Amino acid sequence: MTPFQLSDELLEQIKLDIDARHDKTLKKLLQEYHYADLAEIFDALPIDYGVYLFKLIDTEKTSDVLTEIDEDVREDILEALSVKEIAAELNEIDTDDAADIIAELPEERQKEVIEQISDTEFAQDIRELLTYDEGSAGGLMAKELVRVNQNWTVTRCVKEMRIQAQEVTRVHSIYVVDDENVLLGRLSLKDLLTANDRSKIKSVYIPKVDSVHVEENGEEVAKIMSKYDLEAIPVVDDDKKLLGRITIDDIVDLIKDEAERDYKLAAGISSDVQADDSILELTRARLPWLILGLIGGLGSVFILEGFEGVMSHPSYRTLFFFTPLIAAMAGNVGVQSSAIIVQGLANDIVKGSLWHRLLKEIGLSLINGGALAILVVLFGWIAQQPIEVSITIALSMLCVIVVAALVGTFVPIVLHRRGIDPAIATGPFITTSNDIFGIFLFFYIAKLMLGF
Protein backbone atom coordinates (compact mmCIF):
# COMPACT_ATOMS: atom_id res chain seq x y z
CA MET A 1 0.00 0.00 0.00
CA THR A 2 1.02 3.61 -0.45
CA PRO A 3 -0.26 6.16 2.02
CA PHE A 4 -3.13 8.33 0.83
CA GLN A 5 -2.23 11.71 -0.68
CA LEU A 6 -4.95 14.34 -0.60
CA SER A 7 -5.13 16.00 -4.02
CA ASP A 8 -6.57 19.43 -4.74
CA GLU A 9 -8.90 17.79 -7.27
CA LEU A 10 -10.41 15.46 -4.68
CA LEU A 11 -10.87 18.34 -2.24
CA GLU A 12 -12.58 20.46 -4.89
CA GLN A 13 -14.83 17.55 -5.87
CA ILE A 14 -15.87 17.06 -2.25
CA LYS A 15 -16.67 20.74 -1.89
CA LEU A 16 -18.80 20.64 -5.05
CA ASP A 17 -20.60 17.53 -3.80
CA ILE A 18 -21.32 19.22 -0.48
CA ASP A 19 -22.58 22.35 -2.24
CA ALA A 20 -24.89 20.20 -4.37
CA ARG A 21 -25.96 18.10 -1.34
CA HIS A 22 -24.90 14.85 -3.04
CA ASP A 23 -25.21 12.95 0.24
CA LYS A 24 -25.16 9.54 -1.40
CA THR A 25 -21.85 10.16 -3.20
CA LEU A 26 -20.36 11.64 -0.06
CA LYS A 27 -21.44 8.71 2.13
CA LYS A 28 -19.84 6.31 -0.30
CA LEU A 29 -16.62 8.27 -0.15
CA LEU A 30 -16.72 8.32 3.65
CA GLN A 31 -17.08 4.56 3.71
CA GLU A 32 -14.27 4.02 1.25
CA TYR A 33 -11.47 5.91 3.00
CA HIS A 34 -9.55 5.01 6.14
CA TYR A 35 -10.32 7.24 9.11
CA ALA A 36 -6.76 8.60 9.10
CA ASP A 37 -7.24 9.70 5.49
CA LEU A 38 -10.67 11.17 6.22
CA ALA A 39 -9.05 13.17 9.02
CA GLU A 40 -6.73 14.73 6.42
CA ILE A 41 -9.74 15.67 4.31
CA PHE A 42 -11.44 17.28 7.31
CA ASP A 43 -8.27 19.19 8.20
CA ALA A 44 -8.25 20.69 4.71
CA LEU A 45 -11.98 21.51 4.39
CA PRO A 46 -13.46 24.89 5.38
CA ILE A 47 -15.28 24.43 8.68
CA ASP A 48 -18.95 24.66 7.48
CA TYR A 49 -18.17 22.01 4.88
CA GLY A 50 -16.46 19.93 7.53
CA VAL A 51 -19.41 20.04 9.90
CA TYR A 52 -21.81 19.10 7.11
CA LEU A 53 -19.65 16.17 6.00
CA PHE A 54 -19.02 15.05 9.57
CA LYS A 55 -22.70 14.44 10.21
CA LEU A 56 -22.79 12.02 7.27
CA ILE A 57 -20.14 9.62 8.64
CA ASP A 58 -21.18 6.21 9.98
CA THR A 59 -21.33 6.23 13.78
CA GLU A 60 -18.61 3.57 14.07
CA LYS A 61 -16.17 5.64 12.11
CA THR A 62 -16.96 9.12 13.47
CA SER A 63 -15.12 8.59 16.70
CA ASP A 64 -11.94 7.41 14.98
CA VAL A 65 -12.02 10.36 12.62
CA LEU A 66 -12.62 12.66 15.57
CA THR A 67 -9.54 11.32 17.33
CA GLU A 68 -7.32 11.82 14.30
CA ILE A 69 -8.21 15.32 13.13
CA ASP A 70 -6.32 18.46 14.10
CA GLU A 71 -7.17 19.95 17.47
CA ASP A 72 -8.37 23.26 15.96
CA VAL A 73 -10.66 21.57 13.46
CA ARG A 74 -11.97 19.20 16.12
CA GLU A 75 -12.76 22.14 18.37
CA ASP A 76 -14.79 23.78 15.61
CA ILE A 77 -16.67 20.60 14.79
CA LEU A 78 -17.44 19.84 18.43
CA GLU A 79 -18.76 23.35 18.83
CA ALA A 80 -21.18 22.78 15.97
CA LEU A 81 -22.50 19.54 17.50
CA SER A 82 -25.05 19.31 20.31
CA VAL A 83 -24.13 17.82 23.68
CA LYS A 84 -26.25 14.78 22.81
CA GLU A 85 -24.52 14.27 19.47
CA ILE A 86 -21.09 14.42 21.11
CA ALA A 87 -22.08 11.92 23.78
CA ALA A 88 -23.36 9.54 21.10
CA GLU A 89 -20.05 9.71 19.22
CA LEU A 90 -18.03 9.06 22.35
CA ASN A 91 -19.85 5.82 23.11
CA GLU A 92 -17.96 4.09 20.31
CA ILE A 93 -14.52 5.30 21.31
CA ASP A 94 -11.86 3.99 23.70
CA THR A 95 -11.88 5.64 27.11
CA ASP A 96 -8.45 7.25 26.70
CA ASP A 97 -9.37 8.94 23.42
CA ALA A 98 -12.82 9.88 24.74
CA ALA A 99 -11.28 11.51 27.80
CA ASP A 100 -8.78 13.41 25.63
CA ILE A 101 -11.59 14.78 23.48
CA ILE A 102 -13.77 15.75 26.44
CA ALA A 103 -10.81 17.44 28.10
CA GLU A 104 -10.71 19.88 25.18
CA LEU A 105 -14.29 21.07 25.79
CA PRO A 106 -15.11 24.02 28.04
CA GLU A 107 -15.64 22.79 31.62
CA GLU A 108 -19.37 23.47 31.67
CA ARG A 109 -19.85 21.43 28.49
CA GLN A 110 -17.69 18.57 29.79
CA LYS A 111 -20.20 17.88 32.55
CA GLU A 112 -23.17 18.11 30.20
CA VAL A 113 -21.61 15.66 27.75
CA ILE A 114 -20.69 13.13 30.44
CA GLU A 115 -24.24 13.30 31.82
CA GLN A 116 -25.57 12.43 28.37
CA ILE A 117 -23.47 9.26 28.08
CA SER A 118 -25.86 6.32 28.41
CA ASP A 119 -23.30 3.72 29.54
CA THR A 120 -22.81 4.63 33.21
CA GLU A 121 -19.65 2.55 33.63
CA PHE A 122 -18.11 4.27 30.61
CA ALA A 123 -19.08 7.67 32.01
CA GLN A 124 -17.51 6.73 35.32
CA ASP A 125 -14.27 5.63 33.60
CA ILE A 126 -14.07 8.95 31.78
CA ARG A 127 -14.65 10.92 34.98
CA GLU A 128 -11.77 9.00 36.52
CA LEU A 129 -9.43 9.52 33.55
CA LEU A 130 -10.14 13.26 33.57
CA THR A 131 -8.70 13.50 37.08
CA TYR A 132 -5.20 12.46 35.95
CA ASP A 133 -2.54 14.81 34.71
CA GLU A 134 -2.34 14.90 30.89
CA GLY A 135 1.37 14.03 30.79
CA SER A 136 1.17 11.18 33.31
CA ALA A 137 0.62 7.44 32.89
CA GLY A 138 -2.96 8.03 34.07
CA GLY A 139 -3.46 10.55 31.29
CA LEU A 140 -2.18 8.09 28.68
CA MET A 141 -3.95 4.94 29.82
CA ALA A 142 -7.23 3.43 28.68
CA LYS A 143 -9.60 1.62 31.00
CA GLU A 144 -10.29 -1.11 28.43
CA LEU A 145 -8.32 -4.25 29.15
CA VAL A 146 -8.76 -7.97 29.59
CA ARG A 147 -8.61 -8.93 33.24
CA VAL A 148 -8.98 -12.42 34.68
CA ASN A 149 -9.08 -13.75 38.22
CA GLN A 150 -6.39 -16.17 39.32
CA ASN A 151 -9.05 -18.55 40.68
CA TRP A 152 -10.82 -19.06 37.36
CA THR A 153 -10.29 -22.10 35.14
CA VAL A 154 -9.03 -21.68 31.59
CA THR A 155 -12.55 -22.44 30.29
CA ARG A 156 -14.20 -19.79 32.44
CA CYS A 157 -11.39 -17.45 31.55
CA VAL A 158 -11.98 -17.88 27.81
CA LYS A 159 -15.70 -17.35 28.31
CA GLU A 160 -15.22 -14.16 30.33
CA MET A 161 -12.60 -12.97 27.90
CA ARG A 162 -14.98 -13.33 25.00
CA ILE A 163 -17.23 -10.83 26.72
CA GLN A 164 -14.42 -8.47 27.70
CA ALA A 165 -12.67 -8.71 24.34
CA GLN A 166 -15.66 -7.20 22.57
CA GLU A 167 -14.91 -3.90 24.28
CA VAL A 168 -11.17 -3.96 23.72
CA THR A 169 -9.89 -2.84 20.33
CA ARG A 170 -6.71 -4.87 20.55
CA VAL A 171 -5.96 -7.62 23.02
CA HIS A 172 -2.28 -7.46 23.99
CA SER A 173 -2.02 -9.24 27.25
CA ILE A 174 -4.41 -10.73 29.71
CA TYR A 175 -3.83 -9.37 33.18
CA VAL A 176 -4.27 -11.66 36.16
CA VAL A 177 -5.58 -10.17 39.40
CA ASP A 178 -6.68 -11.46 42.80
CA ASP A 179 -10.09 -10.87 44.39
CA GLU A 180 -8.96 -7.40 45.46
CA ASN A 181 -8.01 -6.39 41.87
CA VAL A 182 -4.34 -6.42 42.82
CA LEU A 183 -2.21 -7.12 39.74
CA LEU A 184 -0.45 -10.49 40.09
CA GLY A 185 0.89 -11.24 36.64
CA ARG A 186 -0.11 -11.83 33.07
CA LEU A 187 -1.25 -14.52 30.72
CA SER A 188 -0.09 -14.17 27.14
CA LEU A 189 -2.55 -15.05 24.42
CA LYS A 190 -0.05 -17.55 23.19
CA ASP A 191 -0.06 -19.28 26.58
CA LEU A 192 -3.83 -19.32 26.59
CA LEU A 193 -3.93 -20.85 23.11
CA THR A 194 -1.66 -23.66 24.20
CA ALA A 195 -3.00 -24.22 27.73
CA ASN A 196 -5.13 -27.10 28.97
CA ASP A 197 -8.82 -26.16 29.33
CA ARG A 198 -9.18 -27.52 32.83
CA SER A 199 -6.15 -25.85 34.42
CA LYS A 200 -6.63 -23.01 36.85
CA ILE A 201 -5.27 -19.64 35.85
CA LYS A 202 -3.26 -19.67 39.08
CA SER A 203 -1.19 -22.54 37.69
CA VAL A 204 -0.56 -21.21 34.17
CA TYR A 205 -0.05 -17.47 34.48
CA ILE A 206 3.32 -15.73 34.55
CA PRO A 207 3.70 -14.27 38.05
CA LYS A 208 5.89 -11.46 36.77
CA VAL A 209 4.63 -8.36 35.07
CA ASP A 210 6.06 -4.90 34.59
CA SER A 211 3.74 -2.09 35.53
CA VAL A 212 3.90 1.66 35.94
CA HIS A 213 2.43 3.84 38.64
CA VAL A 214 -0.51 5.98 37.57
CA GLU A 215 1.40 9.17 38.37
CA GLU A 216 4.54 8.16 36.45
CA ASN A 217 5.70 10.69 33.86
CA GLY A 218 4.59 9.87 30.29
CA GLU A 219 8.07 10.26 28.80
CA GLU A 220 9.41 7.84 31.39
CA VAL A 221 6.71 5.34 30.37
CA ALA A 222 7.75 5.76 26.73
CA LYS A 223 11.37 5.11 27.69
CA ILE A 224 10.45 1.94 29.60
CA MET A 225 8.20 0.58 26.86
CA SER A 226 10.66 1.17 24.07
CA LYS A 227 13.65 -0.08 26.06
CA TYR A 228 11.97 -3.31 27.13
CA ASP A 229 10.07 -3.74 23.83
CA LEU A 230 6.70 -3.77 25.56
CA GLU A 231 3.54 -3.50 23.48
CA ALA A 232 1.34 -2.71 26.45
CA ILE A 233 1.97 -1.97 30.10
CA PRO A 234 -0.54 -2.09 32.96
CA VAL A 235 -1.03 0.94 35.17
CA VAL A 236 -1.45 0.50 38.94
CA ASP A 237 -2.08 2.66 42.00
CA ASP A 238 -0.23 2.75 45.33
CA ASP A 239 -1.80 -0.56 46.38
CA LYS A 240 -0.81 -2.26 43.10
CA LYS A 241 -4.47 -2.30 42.06
CA LEU A 242 -4.94 -2.54 38.31
CA LEU A 243 -6.32 0.75 36.93
CA GLY A 244 -5.76 0.57 33.17
CA ARG A 245 -3.20 -0.05 30.48
CA ILE A 246 -1.10 1.93 28.04
CA THR A 247 -0.55 0.57 24.54
CA ILE A 248 2.41 1.06 22.23
CA ASP A 249 0.48 3.07 19.62
CA ASP A 250 -0.03 5.91 22.08
CA ILE A 251 3.67 5.74 22.86
CA VAL A 252 4.68 5.91 19.19
CA ASP A 253 2.84 9.23 18.93
CA LEU A 254 4.50 10.45 22.13
CA ILE A 255 8.00 9.52 20.94
CA LYS A 256 7.36 11.21 17.60
CA ASP A 257 5.94 14.35 19.19
CA GLU A 258 8.84 14.50 21.63
CA ALA A 259 11.45 14.15 18.90
CA GLU A 260 9.74 16.77 16.76
CA ARG A 261 9.53 19.15 19.70
CA ASP A 262 13.24 18.84 20.47
CA TYR A 263 14.09 19.29 16.82
CA LYS A 264 11.99 22.44 16.61
CA LEU A 265 13.41 23.87 19.80
CA ALA A 266 16.91 23.30 18.44
CA ALA A 267 15.91 25.26 15.34
CA GLY A 268 14.38 28.10 17.36
CA ILE A 269 10.73 27.27 16.80
CA SER A 270 8.56 26.98 19.88
CA SER A 271 5.16 25.39 20.38
CA ASP A 272 3.41 22.95 18.16
CA VAL A 273 3.44 24.54 14.70
CA GLN A 274 3.57 22.84 11.33
CA ALA A 275 4.55 24.02 7.88
CA ASP A 276 0.87 24.32 6.92
CA ASP A 277 -0.15 26.53 9.85
CA SER A 278 -1.10 30.17 9.37
CA ILE A 279 1.48 32.94 9.08
CA LEU A 280 0.30 34.33 12.42
CA GLU A 281 0.84 31.03 14.26
CA LEU A 282 4.23 30.60 12.62
CA THR A 283 5.23 34.14 13.60
CA ARG A 284 4.23 33.53 17.19
CA ALA A 285 6.43 30.42 17.25
CA ARG A 286 9.44 32.01 15.57
CA LEU A 287 9.61 35.71 16.41
CA PRO A 288 10.43 35.38 20.16
CA TRP A 289 13.58 33.40 19.35
CA LEU A 290 14.59 35.92 16.70
CA ILE A 291 14.14 38.75 19.20
CA LEU A 292 16.38 36.84 21.58
CA GLY A 293 18.95 36.61 18.78
CA LEU A 294 18.55 40.32 18.06
CA ILE A 295 19.18 41.26 21.67
CA GLY A 296 22.29 39.10 21.61
CA GLY A 297 23.40 40.74 18.38
CA LEU A 298 22.92 44.19 19.87
CA GLY A 299 24.99 43.04 22.82
CA SER A 300 27.86 42.24 20.50
CA VAL A 301 27.48 45.69 18.89
CA PHE A 302 28.32 47.14 22.31
CA ILE A 303 31.29 44.84 22.76
CA LEU A 304 32.67 45.67 19.32
CA GLU A 305 32.23 49.39 19.95
CA GLY A 306 34.54 48.96 22.91
CA PHE A 307 37.28 47.87 20.53
CA GLU A 308 36.61 50.61 17.98
CA GLY A 309 40.15 51.98 18.39
CA VAL A 310 41.62 48.87 16.76
CA MET A 311 40.09 50.02 13.48
CA SER A 312 42.77 52.70 13.14
CA HIS A 313 45.55 50.11 13.23
CA PRO A 314 46.53 49.12 9.65
CA SER A 315 47.09 45.39 10.33
CA TYR A 316 45.06 44.75 13.51
CA ARG A 317 41.82 45.99 11.97
CA THR A 318 41.72 42.59 10.22
CA LEU A 319 40.33 41.27 13.51
CA PHE A 320 36.99 42.86 12.65
CA PHE A 321 36.80 40.83 9.44
CA PHE A 322 37.02 37.70 11.54
CA THR A 323 34.09 38.43 13.86
CA PRO A 324 31.50 36.52 11.78
CA LEU A 325 33.87 33.54 11.64
CA ILE A 326 34.39 33.59 15.42
CA ALA A 327 30.65 33.94 16.03
CA ALA A 328 29.92 31.06 13.65
CA MET A 329 32.49 28.79 15.30
CA ALA A 330 31.26 29.60 18.79
CA GLY A 331 27.68 28.99 17.70
CA ASN A 332 28.36 25.75 15.79
CA VAL A 333 30.48 24.19 18.51
CA GLY A 334 27.97 25.19 21.19
CA VAL A 335 25.08 23.67 19.26
CA GLN A 336 27.02 20.44 18.62
CA SER A 337 27.99 20.04 22.27
CA SER A 338 24.54 20.81 23.59
CA ALA A 339 22.72 18.62 21.05
CA ILE A 340 24.79 15.58 21.87
CA ILE A 341 24.28 16.11 25.60
CA VAL A 342 20.54 16.69 25.24
CA GLN A 343 20.17 13.51 23.25
CA GLY A 344 22.38 11.62 25.67
CA LEU A 345 20.26 12.85 28.59
CA ALA A 346 17.08 11.76 26.79
CA ASN A 347 18.51 8.28 26.29
CA ASP A 348 20.02 8.03 29.78
CA ILE A 349 23.53 7.53 28.47
CA VAL A 350 25.15 10.59 30.00
CA LYS A 351 27.00 8.89 32.82
CA GLY A 352 29.76 9.95 35.13
CA SER A 353 30.13 13.28 36.86
CA LEU A 354 29.74 16.73 35.38
CA TRP A 355 33.51 17.21 35.73
CA HIS A 356 34.23 14.08 33.78
CA ARG A 357 31.91 15.29 31.02
CA LEU A 358 33.50 18.74 30.92
CA LEU A 359 37.00 17.28 30.81
CA LYS A 360 36.05 15.08 27.86
CA GLU A 361 34.58 18.10 26.10
CA ILE A 362 37.78 20.07 26.70
CA GLY A 363 39.80 17.27 25.12
CA LEU A 364 37.43 17.07 22.19
CA SER A 365 37.36 20.81 21.57
CA LEU A 366 41.15 21.08 21.84
CA ILE A 367 41.48 18.50 19.06
CA ASN A 368 38.78 20.07 16.87
CA GLY A 369 39.85 23.62 17.66
CA GLY A 370 43.52 22.76 17.14
CA ALA A 371 42.83 21.43 13.66
CA LEU A 372 40.80 24.54 12.81
CA ALA A 373 43.49 26.83 14.26
CA ILE A 374 46.09 25.28 11.95
CA LEU A 375 43.81 25.95 9.00
CA VAL A 376 43.44 29.58 10.07
CA VAL A 377 47.23 30.06 10.28
CA LEU A 378 47.55 28.45 6.86
CA PHE A 379 44.95 30.81 5.49
CA GLY A 380 46.79 33.78 7.00
CA TRP A 381 50.00 32.66 5.36
CA ILE A 382 48.31 32.40 1.95
CA ALA A 383 46.60 35.77 2.46
CA GLN A 384 49.99 37.24 3.47
CA GLN A 385 48.77 38.38 6.87
CA PRO A 386 51.40 39.39 9.46
CA ILE A 387 52.26 36.15 11.26
CA GLU A 388 51.57 37.54 14.76
CA VAL A 389 48.05 38.50 13.65
CA SER A 390 47.40 35.01 12.23
CA ILE A 391 48.64 33.29 15.37
CA THR A 392 46.63 35.62 17.58
CA ILE A 393 43.47 34.91 15.60
CA ALA A 394 44.10 31.15 15.64
CA LEU A 395 44.81 30.99 19.35
CA SER A 396 41.94 33.16 20.44
CA MET A 397 39.62 31.15 18.17
CA LEU A 398 40.85 28.01 19.91
CA CYS A 399 39.98 29.54 23.30
CA VAL A 400 36.57 30.56 22.01
CA ILE A 401 35.89 27.01 20.78
CA VAL A 402 36.87 25.47 24.11
CA VAL A 403 34.68 27.90 26.05
CA ALA A 404 31.77 27.41 23.62
CA ALA A 405 32.00 23.64 24.03
CA LEU A 406 32.04 23.98 27.81
CA VAL A 407 29.02 26.29 27.81
CA GLY A 408 27.20 23.91 25.43
CA THR A 409 27.86 21.01 27.77
CA PHE A 410 27.38 22.76 31.08
CA VAL A 411 24.07 24.55 30.42
CA PRO A 412 21.93 21.54 29.39
CA ILE A 413 23.27 19.37 32.22
CA VAL A 414 22.51 22.04 34.80
CA LEU A 415 19.06 22.70 33.32
CA HIS A 416 18.34 18.97 33.37
CA ARG A 417 19.40 18.67 37.00
CA ARG A 418 17.09 21.52 37.92
CA GLY A 419 14.21 19.75 36.21
CA ILE A 420 14.08 22.12 33.22
CA ASP A 421 13.86 20.62 29.72
CA PRO A 422 17.45 20.89 28.42
CA ALA A 423 16.24 20.98 24.80
CA ILE A 424 15.58 24.71 25.10
CA ALA A 425 19.35 25.17 25.43
CA THR A 426 20.21 23.70 22.01
CA GLY A 427 18.90 26.41 19.74
CA PRO A 428 19.17 30.20 19.53
CA PHE A 429 19.74 30.32 23.28
CA ILE A 430 23.16 28.70 23.04
CA THR A 431 24.02 30.33 19.70
CA THR A 432 23.26 33.79 21.01
CA SER A 433 25.10 33.52 24.28
CA ASN A 434 28.08 31.90 22.59
CA ASP A 435 28.15 34.68 19.98
CA ILE A 436 28.52 37.32 22.68
CA PHE A 437 30.94 35.31 24.80
CA GLY A 438 32.95 34.36 21.75
CA ILE A 439 33.35 37.83 20.31
CA PHE A 440 34.27 39.35 23.65
CA LEU A 441 36.80 36.62 24.36
CA PHE A 442 38.26 36.87 20.87
CA PHE A 443 38.97 40.59 21.11
CA TYR A 444 40.03 40.42 24.73
CA ILE A 445 42.62 37.71 24.10
CA ALA A 446 43.79 39.48 20.94
CA LYS A 447 44.23 42.64 22.99
CA LEU A 448 46.36 40.80 25.54
CA MET A 449 48.48 39.14 22.86
CA LEU A 450 48.94 42.06 20.50
CA GLY A 451 48.95 44.68 23.22
CA PHE A 452 46.70 47.33 21.65
Looking at residues 354 to 373 of the shown chain, list those that interact with its own copies (rule: CB under 8 A): 360, 363-364, 367-368, 371-372
**Rounded Cα distance, 395 and 392, in Å:** 5
> Contact between 100 and its own copies (CB under 8 A)?
no
* CB contact set of 373 (below 8 Å; sequence gap of 6+): 394, 395, 397, 398
Site string (3-42) toward its own copies, x via CB under 8 A: x-xx---------------------------x-x------
For residue 224, the minimal CB distance to its own copies (Å) is: 5
Smallest gap, in angstroms, from Cβ of residue 382 to its own copies?
10
Q: Are strands 183-188 and 242-247 parallel, antiparallel or unpaired?
A: unpaired
Is position 168 an interface residue for its own copies (rule: CB under 8 A)? yes
> Quick check: 384 binds its own copies (CB under 8 A)?
no
Examine residue 1 and tell whether it contacts its own copies (CB under 8 A). Answer: yes
Say whether residue 228 binds its own copies (CB under 8 A): yes
Q: Among 244, 236, 245, 239, which residue's Cα sits nearest to residue 215?
A: 236
CB burial string 52-90: b at 16+ within 10 A, e below: bbbeebeeebbbbbbbbbbeebbebbbeebebebbbbbb
* Interface positions, 148-167, toward its own copies (CB under 8 A): 158, 161-162, 165-166
Which window, 114-122, 128-136, 374-382, 443-451, contacts its own copies (CB under 8 A)? 374-382
Judged by CB under 8 A, does residue 308 bind its own copies? yes
The footprint of its own copies on this chain (CB under 8 A) covers a number of residues equal to: 115
Residues from 404 through 433 that contact its own copies (CB under 8 A): 426-428, 431-432
Q: Does 218 bind its own copies (CB under 8 A)?
A: no
Site stretch for its own copies (CB under 8 A), options 74-82, 86-94, 343-351, 414-422: 343-351
Nearest approach, Cβ of residue 320 and its own copies (Å): 5
Nearer to its own copies, 151 or 196 (CB): 196
Choose one: 22-30, 115-123, 126-134, 243-251; the region binding its own copies (CB under 8 A).
243-251
Query: Closer CB to its own copies, residue 14 or residue 123?
Result: 14
